[in-house]
Amino acid sequence: MTPQDPDPPRPQTALTRVWVRSHFLLARSSSRRWPIALQAALSMFLPVMLFTLLGQPGVGMMAASGAFAAIYLVGAAPAVRIRLLPVIGLAILGCAALGTVLAPWPVLAAIGLVVVAVVMAALHFGFRLGPPGPVFFVLVYGLATHLTVVAGGQRLVDPILFLGALATGIVIAYGIAVAAFLIGRARGVAPGPVRTQIARRPRLDRDAQALLLRVALVAIAGTVLSMLLVDPQRAYWTVCAGIAVIGVNVGRRVAFIRGSQRFFGTLVGAGLFALLGFLPIPALVLPFLLGALQFVIEILVVRNYAIALVFITPLVLFIISSAAGATGGLPVDLILERVIDTLIGAVLGAASGIVHPRATDRARH
């Protein structure tokens, strides 16, 4: 290097630049994303619109959570995905059913939250199901405990009603996936590259063991902190935020970046939800709004997690507030609670990255 050459950037400066850019820059997508985005959007739109037309918009929002099944196994071979999606749907329904059973007892519900997180993570990582990770199994369990809790001597939402609505949403999501598969095959559309090889038997390799340990640590710490310092009914959101940060990614640096993306994306998304809350959204417009949010999420989530969360946050807040029967006004308390819970979960998820050795970062970056 000659005396005229500028000083090379310091490692800390380079890492800061990477961190800042990770919140704004869009990565390239390795495949067409719009087909699965359209399936996910329709899976969200149809049940909400169906029950809205039947005069039960709240039930439609419960059914909307069944759309989460549509975003699983998108990297598997199409025939494999169609064969295994019912298993995913049954697992989601089973987690919800357990949540409705334990909802009246906060301590048991908290223990169930940890058990569901660890068991579903072990199965998910063991079978190598790929993105989005075990987070939505835990989220549906949490929604079930939150919506069917006992308030004033009776359930806030009847468990049978919630499970029936959820099952309807799952069936609709699967029907859309089957229709897309049959249409693609009839038109001779070549399937995209298979990026997820589903294991025939669960096996936890070294990376999967580290991810499972992180999920267990986040589930236990998030639940205990919520029980002691925040609110037992909100423990699932803290745990979900942490598990979402973990995802299926290995590495300390990835953990830190995703934790930061989770918090800042949620913060901006909560602001977007607040802005939408000031608008008089007609009941028949809400299904279109949710479908549009879901479509944008699936387009962006593989390109920038932080930007995707700007749309994920209002989508989930709409589901929670509407399914619980909230009417009129802006749920400011709900927004503030979600920001606080997300901050705690994001910190836990990022901190759990210490489980991975530094060699992992050197090998992957």
* DSSP for residue 171: H
CA-CA distance, 221 to 215, in Å (whole number)? 10
* DSSP for residue 189: P
- Is the distance from CB of 48 to CB of 64 less than 8 angstroms? yes
Residue 42: count other Cβ atoms within 10 Å of its Cβ.
22
Q: State both tokens at 92.
A: 């989601």
pTM of the model: 0.89
Domain count, the chain: 1
* 264 three-class SS: helix
CA-CA distance, 355 to 245, in Å (whole number)? 14
* DSSP for residue 145: H
User: In this predicted structure, what is the pLDDT of residue 171?
Assistant: 97
16 within a domain of the structure (yes/no): no
102 within a domain of the structure (yes/no): yes
Sign of torsion over alpha carbons 275, 295, 302, 198: positive
23 within a domain of the structure (yes/no): no
Q: How many CA atoms are closer than 13 Å to the CA of 350, on its beta-carbon side?
A: 15
Q: How many CA atoms are closer than 13 Å to the CA of 356, on its beta-carbon side?
A: 28
What's the Cα-to-Cα distance from 303 to each of 25, 30, 274, 307, rounded to whole Å? 8, 10, 25, 9
19 within a domain of the structure (yes/no): no
86 within a domain of the structure (yes/no): yes
- State the residue range of the domain holding 41: 32-364
- For 86-125, what is each residue's pLDDT tens digit? 999 999 999 999 999 999 999 999 999 999 999 999 999 9
- For 323-349, what is each residue's pLDDT tens digit? 665 555 567 787 888 888 989 999 999
In the chain, the N- to C-terminal Cα span, in Å, equals 25
Q: What is the dihedral of CA 254, 260, 264, 265, to 10 degrees?
A: 20
26 within a domain of the structure (yes/no): no
Instruction: Report residues of the chain scoring pLDDT below 70.
Output: 1-12, 14-15, 19, 29-31, 188-194, 323-330, 358-365
User: In this predicted structure, what is the pLDDT of residue 255?
Assistant: 82
How many Å is the maximal CA-CA distance in the chain?
79
46 within a domain of the structure (yes/no): yes
Residue with tokens 């999501």: 173
* 281 three-class SS: coil
Residue 125: count other Cβ atoms within 10 Å of its Cβ.
25
- Is the distance from CB of 282 to CB of 329 less than 8 angstroms? no
Q: State both tokens at 50.
A: 């169906």
3 within a domain of the structure (yes/no): no
